[in-house]
Amino acid sequence: SQQGEEDPQALSIQEGENATMNCSYKTSINNLQWYRQNSGRGLVHLILIRSNEREKHSGRLRVTLDTSKKSSSLLITASRAADTASYFCATDLYNFNKFYFGSGTKLNVKP
């Protein structure tokens, strides 16, 4: 299937450390998006990276995309307890208006 799959499934770090999450997918895409979801809440869009981009930054977030390996990574620098959430990547099918989410990485940042 097309679904992005995140790795690791769970990550526990201390406040101030960096957190890296990875996403792999299977077919050509237009773009890849990262979302955050706090427990039981809605999805918050973090960053979109297009297939012709290799790296994007937004505040403490850094996203890379390697289309040859069909993978992306999300780096959160200097993590805070408030970053505790599940993080999902979502990919579209090239030329199709449908999107697939992975199972997510559950990040726990300990104060």
Partner 1 sequence: EPEVTQTPSHQVTQMGQEVILRCVPISNHLYFYWYRQILGQKVEFLVSFYNNEISEKSEIFDDQFSVERPDGSNFTLKIRSTKLEDSAMYFCASGGRSSDTQYFGPGTRLTVL
Amino acid residing at 81: A
**Between vectors from CA 81 to CA 10 and to CA 48, what angle results, nearest 5°?**
65
Q: Does 100 bind partner 1 (CB under 8 A)?
A: yes
For residue 81, report the phi and psi dihedrals to the nearest 5 degrees: -55, -35
Residue 108, both tokens: 């726990």
Q: Does 110 bind partner 1 (CB under 8 A)?
A: no
- Smallest separation, CB 35 to partner 1 (Å): 8
Please say which residue, 17 or 61, places its beta carbon nearer to partner 1: 61
Q: Does 35 bind partner 1 (CB under 8 A)?
A: yes
Q: Does 104 bind partner 1 (CB under 8 A)?
A: yes
Measured between alpha carbons, how far is 45 from 40 in angstroms, rounded to an integer? 16
Q: Which residues bind partner 1 (CB under 8 A)?
A: 3, 30-31, 33, 35, 41-45, 48, 88, 90, 92, 96-104
